[in-house]
Structure 1
């Protein structure tokens, strides 16, 4: 089992709450089966209305985890198990105690806002090393036994569910569901990039020792010192390489401006940084 910190617990819980809210108040009341186990559960609920969608998701996840255990082994991790069954639990609470109602009569608004909320929640769950199980498991099985790439497998499974939704609920709701499947994948990727964005800096300054001390003592970070050679000055120089959060970058930039306005700073955005001081490389 992977380590499960309090921060992970809080962020994953918030993520699955957003997914549950988007499903219960936007997609489920409008029969938008936008892929995944949740989409399949919406379709099944249409034929067995006595079973709430949250309970159907729970049943499907239990079946899928059992199949995965037999075919892929048991390496799911505590986070994925928590997110998968926690989502069903939150949906059951919403369905039992809050009786979700349609918030808008406009199908486009329901599809778009629901996709935005669900995509944001899923991105938070993925960003903290978990997943909600479901069709991820089917994609891994297809990858193992039929050598289909996981991304393509996941998209294929979701599109089959979307097409089934189209046949069940009609062309309008079905096409919106297919659009949500495409939009969700893109949105999740972009949001994960946004969560993990950092600033990569290369600094050339005659006050490098002061800058290094500021990075270590004030920002509680480290940096790498590279040896370089000035093409114009023909002098040996030292280049500082450091990766910082946006807020830390602003503080360092202000400090360098004060002590060496003629310093050279190159700044790039990086979308994932793993290792000490950043995201755990074991996630």
Structure 2
């Protein structure tokens, strides 16, 4: 197995563990079902005497067949692993430390903590071109064929689960779960964007050689140089353009103050970057 593949599966396992923790310890005790197969499993556990981890596994097996058909073998293969890990981690939690009561006494706090943790885990799994199964698979299908972003796709796929929570738990709990349904889509998109967002930095400096050398030597990034002329001074200038991760930009920003106190800098947010030194297609 390739080193990159092993790394991907490690991230998938880590992501599903975070999802399982958020769902089982924060959402299950409050009967909050903000969508997803995990949410549907919470609802169904009120009607059948089967552990949530097993309900989750059975439902996911059905949808995995759909995933294989529409998304291909690679996605399906990774998702089989993530579904196994999710059900496994929930089973371990049910066995070792059962969730007998909510973590906090505030239902909204439990909802927010559960959603943020599960969304964080989901974004890690999605970035490995996998899914935790269930309605995530439907969201991926909508993303591929209808070009909906993943967060919106999740919201569309989870309508049935949210409505079933209203009928099962009543208006109060159902309403909180519906808010969680909306929040989940927003937070998933936020975390997914956080993995790919970069900064495009445009620099105009009289010490452009020092600036370029610092970017090469310390940040190990490339630059593009444009020849320009000042409109007021008519002086020849070099405009340096580079793409940096956020932390790299802050390192450069601090150094620019020492290289050239009069430097002119423009910073733009870039949603995605593909190519040498960044993500591959």
Per-residue deviation, 1:276: 2.3
User: Please, which moves more after superposition, 87-96 or 185-194?
Assistant: 185-194
Q: 1:161: how far off?
A: 0.9
Specify the alignment match of 1:176 in structure 2.
176
Contact 1:196–1:273 (8 Å) recurs in 2:
yes
Is the CA contact 1:2–1:79 (under 8 Å) kept in the aligned structure 2?
Answer: no
SS of corresponding position for 2:132: coil
After superposing the two structures, state which structure 1 stretch, 221-230 or 176-185, moved more. 221-230
**Equivalent residues of 1:2, 1:78 under 8 A apart:** no
Equivalent residue number for residue 280 of structure 2:
281
Pairwise CA distance, 1:106: 3.1
CA distance in 2, matches of 1:202, 1:212: 12
Q: Secondary structure at the match of 1:76?
A: helix
3-state SS of the aligned residue for 2:46?
helix
Query: Shift of the alpha carbon at 1:165?
Result: 1.3
Counterpart in 2 of 1:164?
A: 164
Specify the alignment match of 1:245 in structure 2.
245
Q: Which runs of 5+ in 1 are unaligned?
A: none
1:202 counterpart residue number: 202
C-alpha separation in 2, matches of 1:38 and 1:269: 34
Q: For each residue in 1:73-107, what CA deviation from the matched residue of structure 2 results, as whole angstroms up to 9, or x when unmatched?
A: 43415543332221111111111222223223432
Partner residue, 2:218: 218
The residue aligned with 1:255 is 255
Task: Give the Å deviation of 1:112.
Answer: 2.3
Query: What SS is found at the alignment partner of 1:133?
Result: coil
8 Å CA contact retained: 1:4, 1:79: no
The verdict on how the C-alpha distance between 1:21 and 1:144 changes in structure 2, with shifts beyond 3 A counting, is: closer
Is 1:31 the equivalent of 2:31? Answer: yes
In structure 1, distance between residues paired with 2:72 and 2:8:
24
Partner residue in 2 for 1:85: 84
Residue of structure 1 equivalent to 2:190: 190
Question: Structure 1 residues 71 and 230, CA, compared in 2 at 3 Å: closer, same or farther?
Answer: closer
Per the alignment, residue 107 of structure 1 pairs with 107
Partner of 1:41: 41
Alpha-carbon contact 1:123-1:188 (below 8 Å) kept? yes
State the 1:47 CA deviation. 1.1
CA deviations on 1:211-257 (whole Å, 9 max, x unpaired) are 21111112111111112221112233211101112332233233332
Question: Equivalences for 1:136-155 in 2 at 5 Å?
Answer: 136-139=136-139, 149=148, 154-155=154-155
Aligned to 1:232: 232
Q: Distance in 2 between matches of 1:140 and 1:217?
A: 40
Which moves more between the two structures, 188-197 or 66-75? Answer: 66-75
TM-score, normalising length: structure 2: 0.87
State the distance in 1 between where 2:2 and 2:179 align. 35
3-state SS of paired residue (1:186)? helix
In the alignment, the residues of structure 1 paired with residue 273 and residue 241 of structure 2 have an alpha-carbon distance, to the nearest angstrom, of 14
CA 3–57 in structure 1, closer or farther in 2 if over 3 Å, else same: farther
Distance 2:5 2:69 in 1: 29
Check conservation: 1:198, 1:269, Cα contact below 8 A.
yes
Q: Which whole-Å CA distance do the structure 2 matches of 1:42 and 1:178 have between them?
A: 14
User: C-alpha displacement at 1:148, in angstroms?
Assistant: 8.9
Coordinate RMSD, CA, aligned: 2.7
Normalised by the size of structure 1, how large is the TM-score?
A: 0.86
CA distance in 2, matches of 1:196, 1:143: 17
